[in-house]
Amino acid sequence: MAVYLIAHDIGTSGNKATLFSEDGRMIANTVERYPLYSDGNRAEQDANDWWRAVCMATRELLKKSAVSPDDIAAVSFSGQMMGCLPIDREGRPLRRAIIWADRRADQQVAQIREKMDDAHFFSIAGHRNISSYGMQKAMWIQSQEPEVYENTWKFLNAKDYIVLKMTGKCLTDVSDANGMECFDLKALKWSDELVACSGLDGDKLPEVVPSTHAVGHVTAQAAQETGLSEKTMVVMGAGDGVAANVGAGSVTPGNVYCCIGTSAWLAATTEQPLFDPERRMMCWAHAVPELYSPNGTMQYAGGSYAWLKDTICTAEVEKAEREGISPYQVIEQEIEKAAPGSGGVLFLPYLIGERAPRWNDRAKGVYFGLTADTSRADMLRSVLEGVAMNLDKCVSALRDTMPVRDVTLIGGASSSRIWQQIFADVFRARVHVPDLPGDANSLGAAVIAGVGCGLFPDFRVTERFVQANRTVDFAEERAAVYDGMKEKFDRVYEALINEF
């Protein structure tokens, strides 16, 4: 009898649901959208929208595939991280969820800093004390919405709420607990010291379990709403950035991957948590038990390329529309005319500030080194090189503690042949580009489901599912050009810090 797994990737714009066979083939997928309520530095979503999207998407998968609900062995989740959803004892949301993109809790960041210096905070949490995280958002609710706080039973993240709706059990996994930022990364439990520093009631935090924890079977009510069978096992799942580790095949120590989407991150898998002394990189609890994932996330990677397309490359966009091809294909025909190093032109890709490695939300995008000899191709190529040089700062941070010889490249922008070569040359590493069945988040959630329900013996099953279909090596001549440019890249940024 065929056995199947369902993965839900509960993102910012919608829920992507994917049905996988036990041999890792994607059978069907679908997306259900929901709104984002955003105003200035505030960003919220309705948890009921998440649940409706999961129910609708599950029914659509079953309809598309004609797979029997009885053949779904398990369902698991990849979910947006660093949020804060207060629920009451009946499991009802008390307000909209404050999601990862929300930046309102600056005052709470300052309150924590008055009690604990940044270095000590980082040494426990593995993350910087900034307003992106769940603890600071819960503190804001405590301060600004005391009635909501008083009635809160637990604070949850997106996937945790869906697990609650499916099973009636209120839990979180180690990765999302880590994203609350009152979590002891070494001990893998809530930190009494950080909770006390926050002033929050520790009883309002859910029980923490491994990402592979088999929570229980789908309840009768959830089965009726989703179309699943009550025999289907619900496995806890992980935050999206950590689920992507699994989907990219980064499940054993030393394995490094880079995801290039609108934003980008570079991550590895290690046996021990890495606490970067310069705090360039953060570190997550891995979905694979007893492993960790040091991670550096930049704000605007593919976003910088999209900005280039929309503002400077209008002629290429028009040509692409006439020819019925991707505008990026036309842009890269132009980029091919420029030599590595872009004629000395540098681009700082900080169009919306920067997280890793700069941690400067006031940083700006910059073209530097333009001369009368600068070509259009130089200006276009320099954007791709600037993104790669910024991510190379994260590679360098990793290399302080481990060798980095190979990097798996995933994400929408990873299909660019030119960018693949630029990354290889800038990183001085072999770049492997897999052909993933679905995206990394979804595949990761499916593997977590399979391990959690006992269908797979361990995470090495990803070796069957994640196969490189292209490998790109660096060339010493090009890498040497970039070595010199990387030094100038840093000097230009440092010279402009006060201007930012």
The tokens describing 216, both together, are 């229980």
Question: Is residue 438 predicted with pLDDT exceeding 80?
Answer: no
Domain range annotation of the chain: 4-241, 249-435+467-500
* Radius of gyration in angstroms for the set of CA atoms belonging to the chain, rounded to a whole number: 23
Domains 4-241 and 249-435+467-500 share a fold: yes
- What residue type is 353 in one-letter code? G
Q: 412 falls in which pLDDT band (50, 70, 90)?
A: confident
- Which pLDDT band holds residue 468 (cuts at 50, 70, 90)? confident
Q: What distance in Å separates the CA atoms of residue 250 and residue 252, rounded to the nearest whole number? A: 6
Q: What pLDDT is recorded for position 461?
A: 95
pLDDT at 273: 96
* pLDDT-derived band at 2, boundaries 50, 70, 90: confident
The proportion of the chain whose per-residue pLDDT surpasses 70, expressed as a percent, equals 100
Cis before 35? omega within 30: no
Distance of CA 158 to the CA centre of its chain: 14
Average of per-residue pLDDT values in the chain: 96
Average pLDDT over residues 129-152: 97
Q: Please report the pLDDT score of residue 128 as a whole number.
A: 97
Q: Which fold has domain 4-241?
A: Nucleotidyltransferase; domain 5 (3.30.420)
Tell me the backbone φ, ψ of residue 428, rounded to 5 degrees.
55, 55
The confidence score (pLDDT) of residue 317 equals 97
CATH number of 249-435+467-500: 3.30.420.40
Residue 208 — very low, low, confident or very high, per pLDDT cuts 50/70/90? very high
Does residue 75 have a pLDDT over 90? yes
- Residue 350: pLDDT band with limits 50, 70, 90: very high
CB 173 within 8 A of CB 211: yes
